[in-house]
Structure 1
Amino acid sequence: MATKSAAINMRVLPSVREVIDAAASLQSMDRTVFIQQAALNEAYKVLADQKDFKLEQRAFEAFETALDEPAKVSEGVQDLFQRKSPWE
């Protein structure tokens, strides 16, 4: 069964289109494929930045140490949790 494609429409300045067309041409791609590939690559990067990160060994050990420490509760947070809610 074939999957339908979904349209994405956008307007850009002519100068932007010219740059995109030039870059797509250098990659032997049409504009649509070039934009799709560029947007998809950027989307993957954004998603990876939210869940993956790399640290050098020393920094990773410091990170693990910080995670193992008990949580610190500030007085302001304690006071906030002890207050009655306005709707109560």
Structure 2
Amino acid sequence: MTHKPNTDAPATRQPVHIRLPEEARALIDRAARVRGKNRTDFMIEASVAAAEDTLLDQTLIKVDAQTYRHFLDVLDQPPSSEAFARLMNAPKPWAP
């Protein structure tokens, strides 16, 4: 769920005023330049992504007892496919 700021309609934007430590502002400006964005668009994109992540982490899924039991049973079964075995035996790039 990535939200792209609507830069075509500045009249619909509402101002938000924040005070940043100089170091934080410099870091944000540097990252915005790397992404080819201005500070405002970079901060909107980063803030919206953080807000979405926060809300998605709070999502509650309700199911009946039978569905939940089935879910737990599936989690308790170890994977046994050939593809999974290959994956587990593949060289790890972080291991020497």
- Greater RCO (Cα-Cα under 8 Å, separation 6 or more): 2
Report what 1:22 is aligned to. 30
Match of 1:61 among 49, 69, 72: 72
Give the counterpart of 1:33 among 22, 37, 41: 41
Instruction: Look up the SS of the partner of 1:51 in the other structure.
Output: coil
Tell me the TM-score normalised to structure 2 length.
Answer: 0.52
* Matching residue's letter, 1:44: E
The Cα RMSD (Å) is 2.4
5+ residue gaps, structure 1, are 54-59, 63-88
- Extract structure 1 runs of 4+ deviating beyond 6 A: none
- CA 1:37/1:52 → structure 2, altered by over 3 Å: closer, same or farther? farther
Residue correspondences, number: 57
- Counterpart of 1:71 in structure 2 is none
Output the TM-score relative to the length of structure 1: 0.56
